[in-house]
Every structure is written in C-alpha cells, then in structure tokens.
Structure 1
Amino acid sequence: VAASFYLFSPITTHPSLHLANVVFAMLASVRTFTSRGTGSFVQRLIPTYSIRLFSQGGLVTTDWLRENIEDPSVKVLDASRVPMFLHSTLPHALRLSLPGSLKGQDSNVVVSGDEFEAAANLAGLSNSDKIVVYDSSVTMTATRHWWAFKRYGVDVAILDGGWKKWVREGGKMESGMKKALSSLFSSGDKDSQNVEAHFKIKQNDSVFYSMDRLAKAVGTKGVHVVDARSPHEFSGRIKMNKRGGHVPGAVNMPHSLFLNDDGTLKSDEALKEFARHAGLPKPKSCKPIVSYCQSGARATIPAFALSKIGYTIGVYDASMSEWANAKDTLLISNK
C-alpha cells in the first residue's frame, strides 16, 4: 500500500532516486524508523524532561539534543535526501516519505496539506511531539521543512549545525538502511502496519505567498521583499530563467550570509546587524517580510533566521522559477 501510495504521489524526478524513494516508502509503512516504539504505556512511565528548554527561537544545539534525544517526546527528523538517510542518520531519526524539496510532482510549490499530513503520520509524528529537524547539507532542506511545518500549523526546531556538526563532535550515528531492514523484519508490534493518525495539520496561509499575492503586496508596498540568491543572480548577470533580475523593491540578502563557516546560524546580534545593514526596519515597526530565491529552498534560510529575531515572515514558494518565466511580472536588472 505504501509503495503504491508513493508511486502515485509527488516524487523527485531524478531517475536514480526513484527506486530509493519507493523502497523508503515501503520500509516506512512498517512503522517509524525508531527503536523506541514501545507504546504509550512506557511513554507514560518516562518523564518528559525537555519541555522547558526545547527551543530557543526554533533552534536547538547539539549539546541539547545529546541530553534529550532519548526523551520519547523528542522526534528527530532527517531532511536529507533518501540515499544519505539510508547511509547514516542520527539515533532514532525519522524521515518523511516525500521528496527533499517537499514539492509535488510537476509542481513548483509545497505538497498539499493532505499529502503532508499523510507523510507525517506515516513517519509516526504527532502534534504533541517536540520535532527537531536536521539535514546533511547547508541547512536549507532543514529550514524548508521548518517552513513547511509552519505552513501547516506546527512549530518545529532546527538542529544548529545539522548532521555535520553532530558528526564533528563525535555524536552517535546509525545506519538508516540497517535500521530500516531491522524494523522491516523484526517481530515487534503486530499492529505496526495500522498507522494511527496523531498528526493533524492546521492551514497557515500567512506564511505562503503565491505570485498573485506577492505582486499585489509589492504593488501596495505592503511587504518587505528579501532575495536570498547570490548577488549575480539578483543583478541579472546570472540568468537561470527566461528573464534575469529581481522583484522590484527587493533587497539582496544571500542565504549563505546568515550562516557561520561551520554551518551554524549566526548569533542574534549578527542577524540584527545584517537586517539593519540591508535596510530592514526593526521587527516591531517592520511590515511582513517575504523571501524568495530560485525554487523556494534558499529562501527559507532568511525566513527562519529573521523569524528567530522577531520578524513576521512569509515565503514566495514558486520563487523566480515562476516569476522570471512569466510574461507580465516586473523585474529589475542591474547587470
């Protein structure tokens, strides 16, 4: 059932990943990839000791996770691509049976609420969990997951520095494939294929911008617009679409400048200075900020970082892959 669900649901279009995604969905249907599936009875016996310090503005440290990873209410979510997940994961890590971009097949926006809810339930998540997301790249797939959860009404945290920092510090790792196969052939819970729905979405349209919504907001100067691409993409010198340039009124805040060299998020003080330097008002007097990039991934890094220091954010999900290929949208080119 899970395989057929995934075969006919949005998947990544890269041929080499197709089979891996289908296998992952089959394995995920057995149960969540966790050795902690001991049932609600045991969970009631184990005190939840991480509520108070769970999230500092949506960010948790590797030290915090090491201390709390065995808490049954903490769920670690791997936002890496399937091959990386199967190769090496953090202990007890789960993964959504969706493409890393969280976009549907032949779609340039995040999957529907029904699809997202189904994937979250298949992974064994619930609304009461303290979900910590990480990835193995440069944080953008983790922040994209953070934004998608926010889009559907659930706040999650990101592991600062992600997989790379965890590994550098000697953190324990597990084989995702070994974990998956162990779960598949174990003689555990006989009802493991009956996935209970404990995760419910609540649509949050405030953080999602379509092309029409952004165009109207730009026309009325109702938002501040942040372009998370490189300076050459922003100016139009590098053109990845039919037309080059940026949305009128946008300020260029490249996604990489929100991060330190080790992949951790810059300090609140540094982020505030970056925002000030870009010309953004202080959060209390600032209109909503809408970020975009080429395809909606990089844009979630400034969205996350600016949200952390108090700004109201949104993401133009289709980004320049839609805007710069449309005929009647305005573009400013500085090349």
Structure 2
Amino acid sequence: MTQPASLITTEQLAAMLGAPDLRIYDCTTYNEPVPQGSDVPYIAVSGDKTFAAGHIPGADFLDLQGEFSDTSVRPFFMMPMTAQLEAAFGRHGLDASKTIVLYSIGTMMWATRFWWMLRSLGVDAHVLDGGFDKWKAEGRAIETGAPKGYPASSLKAAPRAGFFVDKSAVMAGIGDPATVIVNALGPQFHRGLEPSRYGRPGRVPGSVNVPAATLVNSADKTLTTLADAEAKFAAQGVTRDKTVVCYCGGGISATIDLFLLTQLGYDKLTLYDGSMGEWARDPALPIETD
C-alpha cells in the first residue's frame, strides 16, 4: 500500500521549497501540567517560541488556541465559527488555491487537527510525515526567528457537514449497531485504570480503543503503514459500513485516527470535539470502566 497524497514526506517537501504557491505552517501547541488542585486538565501553551528557535524555511506559524479555537466554551480547542476561521486563515495567506503543508513538533496531532479543520471547510491540505522532528533529524535547512508570514488571501470556505459532532450525537450512537465510537487515548485511560486529568476516569460506554500513539512510529514520529493501521482498526470492529465517531481528551489526538482512516478510504467519519474534556465532567453523561 502507498500513502495517499494527504501525507507528504520530508524529501518531497524539500524539493518544493521556494515554490510560489507553497504555504507551510507550523501548528505546534504544548500541553503543560497544571498546579495540583487545578480544575483544568492542562495549560495550553503556544509553540511560537520553538518556532522562533527553528522552523522549516519560509514557514508561518498557526496559533491554535490563539486564533483558531472557540474560547467561549470550557473544553480546549473547540471548533469556532466558519467566519472566524475564514478571517484567521486569510490573514495567514491560506486559501484553497495554495499547496498547503502542515507540520508540528513532538507529535503530528497538532498538524492533523488543522488538517481536519481545513477539510471541514472544504480545503485540502498535506501533513508532513514525521513533522519537524524528522526534518531536523535529517539535517535539512532550518530558519530561525519570528514568522515573516505570507501575503494575506481571501479564504472562501465550502463547509462539509458532519465533520464535528456534540455529546447528544455521541449519546445517540451508543448501542447503535451502525455506529462505532473510537477512543484514541491510551488503554489505561480507556479502561479507567488511572486517574484522568479530564474528570471521571473511564470511557464513553461501548467505545473501542485504537490509541493514536499506536499509529505512530516512536523512532521517527512518522505514521504507521496503512496495512498496520487497517489491522488495528479492524481488530476493534471498525469497518467501512459503520459511522465512525472518534474522540480523545480534547479533540486533538483523535485526528491522527481520523487521518489514517481517511487515507484508508473510510468516508463516514466524525470527531466528537468536546471529547473527554466535556464528557468526563458532565455527571449526566454515562461513563464506563473495566
């Protein structure tokens, strides 16, 4: 199996540098621990400082929680209104006519989150396999300093329905034989064996576990093969005839699952944006543990 066009290699990107319609974006955010007793799961910190310390030549920086999230709701990183995104992406020179490459540091999930957001707006983008970690490890060219940005553009979204769902849709999917709910968190959190920073330990009842971490090669942070991903999803009963609802802690790491499912040809996919950051805190919602 070959990886489809949504995934781009470091070799391919290196050969494209300097192309006039190329738009490269560092999407990095960091989740830092909170003081004991805090009622938030983590502190989201912009990756602008690591961007300044080193980035792919010509890249711009996208601040997920700064410009591209709905900050009026409690769970972090919630999808904002289309108009907000059109304006924010336009300020960064992004529109559907450009070749868009997204990457992040430490984990690809920040890039795949932006990829999923853009797809929901009708804009297709590429994700750099292995991200900046692989690029740097290969000794490729690096720039430093603040982002220079790109000339502003006008993004006209063509929203695609069904990319994001809320807790009521997840509730409706519990026990539905035509739906499979997939938890992308680690098995210890899925099973409720460890305290959860999101609230009550456990999972959405009936959900299966395909941890995002198992879909990534730890050595170079690239995605696993499509054959391996297919086997992991199939083992959990994830099939193409079912509607697949993915979730995690904050709607970020689950986009790695969604990215690979998309590459495998699954087309009935959605993200529970609130994820456990919302579900575990709401005592009216059922939760399941081993």
Would the TM-score normalized by the shorter structure come out above 0.5? yes
CA spacing shift, 1:161–1:101, aligned 2, 3 Å: farther
Aligned-partner SS, 1:115:
helix
| Pairing 1:39-50 to 2, within 5 Å after superposition | none
Change (3 A) 1:288 1:143: same
Counting only pairs closer than 5 Å after superposition, residues 263-274 of structure 1 correspond to structure 2 as 263-274=221-232
Per-residue Cα deviation, 1:137-194 (whole angstroms, up to 9, x for no partner): 21110111111111222111100001011111111111132x54xx8xxxxx9xx7xx
Q: Secondary structure at the match of 2:162?
A: helix
Consecutive unaligned residues of structure 2, counting only runs of 5 or more, are 29-46
Q: Which residue pairs with 1:297 in the alignment?
A: 252
Q: Residue 64 of structure 1: SS of its match in structure 2?
A: helix
Query: Which protein is richer in strand relative to its size?
Result: 2
Give, as a single letter, the amino acid of the residue that structure 2 aligns with 1:103: S
Pick the aligned partner of 2:203 from 214, 227, 246.
246
The amino acid that maps onto 2:157 is I
Question: Deviation per CA, 1:222-280, whole angstroms, max 9, x where unpaired?
Answer: 42111011111111122334422111221111111001121001111111111122222
- For residues 274 and 152 of structure 1, the distance between their equivalents in structure 2, rounded to whole angstroms, comes to 29
1:206 is aligned to 2:155: no
User: Quick check: 1:118 aligned with 2:71?
Assistant: no
CA distance in 2, matches of 1:242, 1:76: 36
Q: Is the 8 A contact 1:161 1:264 kept in 2?
A: yes
Q: Which has the higher helix share?
A: 1
Q: Does 1:67 align with 2:15?
A: yes
Partner of 2:59: 93
Cα deviation code 1:286-327 (max 9, x no counterpart): 212111011111111111111111112211011011111112
Residue number in structure 2 paired with 1:148: 117
Q: What TM-score does the superposition give when structure 2 sets the normalisation length? A: 0.85
Aligned to 1:229: 185
Counterpart check, 1:308 vs 2:260: no
Q: Output one character per residue of 1:117-147: Cα deviation in whole Å (capped at 9) or x when no partner.
A: 1111110112111101000121110111111
- Structure 2: distance between partners of 1:88 and 1:242: 36
Query: Which residue is 1:217 aligned to?
Result: 173
CA-CA distance at 1:57 after TM superposition: 4.2
1:212 positional shift: 1.1
**Structure-2 residue corresponding to 1:176:** 145
Greater alpha carbon shift after TM alignment, 221-230 vs 101-110? 101-110
The alignment's TM-score, normalised by the length of structure 1, stands at 0.74
Partner amino acid, structure 2, of 1:293: C
Between 1:160-169 and 1:232-241, the stretch displaced more is: 232-241
For residue 98 of structure 1, report the CA deviation from its aligned partner: 4.2
Tell me the residue number matched to 1:37.
none
**What CA distance in whole angstroms lies between the structure 1 residues aligned with 2:271 and 2:245?**
5
Q: Distance in 2 between matches of 1:242 and 1:167?
A: 37
- Verify: 1:279 aligned to 2:217, yes or no: no
Provide, for residues 78-124 of structure 1, a one-character-per-residue CA deviation record: whole Å limited to 9, x for no partner.
10211112221101102235427942224231222111111111101
Structure 1 residue ranges without an equivalent (≥5): 1-54, 184-188
SS of the aligned residue for 2:174 comes to: helix
- Contact 1:223-1:290 within 8 A present in 2 as well: yes
RMSD: 2.1
Measure the CA separation in 2 of the matches of 1:101 and 1:295.
17
Aligned-residue offset at 1:209: 1.0
1:265 is aligned with what amino acid? L
Q: How many Å separate the matches in 2 of 1:226 and 1:101?
A: 28
Kept in 1: contact 2:101–2:128 (CA 8 A): yes
Letter of the structure 2 residue corresponding to residue 218 of structure 1: I
Cα gap change, 1:97 to 1:331, in 2 (>3 Å): closer
Q: Distance in 2 between matches of 1:82 and 1:90?
A: 13
- How far apart are the structure 2 equivalents of 1:320 and 1:64? 36
How far apart in 2 are the matches of 1:280 and 1:134?
A: 27
Aligned-partner SS, 2:84: helix
Alpha-carbon spacing, 1:265–1:320, altered in 2? closer, same or farther (3 Å): same
Aligned to 1:257: 214
